[in-house]
Amino acid sequence: MMPILRTVMFVSLFTSMLTGGAGVAVAKDCTFNDLHGEFTVTADCEGLQDFSGIGQPLKRMWLAGSWGQLEIIEVPSPYQAADLDLVMETLARFWSNWRTPGPLSSMQLAGMEARVVTERKPRTTSRTWLFNLGGRNITARAVAYGKRSEREQNLEKIAEAFVKSFKHKAE
């Protein structure tokens, strides 16, 4: 496991222990702002926390916690304004040969056209969304870890929080 992810998971576990952990049935939602101030995502504070200040220059948001992680980044040049299908064929399917990606599908995300694909590996399950925000292509990748049934449930929690709560501030 990468050192930064290990640190994030430790902080998440420690925070969970301080707040009563899994025994607490009350869910509190937190709203997270992207680093450019253009959109927000709302999720259960116990499931995801904000670590957006750590990382690469194209990053817009990084949430991580007991559910897994959600990273939202700008697509690099020369794909920043390319057709969504071209970007998904080129960038969103570069992982190893033993992956089992699901079908590429279209959807609406806060009124914007988006593409989405789910990928299942032996130890992780991920879902990648691609959409265009203000002329720039953005990817959002949710990853859940652990036993398959648990990580599938956690991925659905992250996906639901992202899709239902994503708000572009220009709306």
Three-class DSSP labels, the chain: CCHHHHHHHHHHHHHHHHCCHHHCCCCCEEEEECCCCCEEEEEECCCCEECCCCCCCCEEEEEEECCEEEEEEECCCCCCCCCHHHHHHHCCCCCCCCCEECCCEEEEECCEEEEEEEEECCCEEEEEEEEEECCEEEEEEEEEECCHHHHHHHHHHHHHHHHHHCEECCC
- Using pLDDT thresholds of 50, 70 and 90, give the confidence band for residue 54: confident
Q: Is the pLDDT of residue 5 over 70?
A: no
The alpha carbon of residue 17 and the mean position of all alpha carbons in its chain are separated, in whole angstroms, by 24
pTM: 0.77
Going by their DSSP bridges, the two strands 29-33 and 100-101 should be labelled as unpaired
Q: Which two structure tokens, joined as six digits, stand for 101?
A: 């990606």
Average pLDDT estimate for 137-153: 95
- Using pLDDT thresholds of 50, 70 and 90, give the confidence band for residue 40: very high
Calpha distance 103→82 (Å, rounded) = 20
More confident residue, 163 or 53: 163
Residue 136 burial (CB count, 10 A): 15
Position 99 scores a pLDDT of 53
Domain 3-168, CATH 2.60.40.10 — does that match?
no
Q: Is the pLDDT of residue 120 over 50?
A: yes
Position 87 scores a pLDDT of 86
The mean-pLDDT minimum among 1-15, 47-61, 94-108, 112-126 falls in 1-15
Calpha distance 140→128 (Å, rounded) = 6
Q: Is the pLDDT of residue 109 over 90?
A: yes
Average pLDDT estimate for 86-95: 68
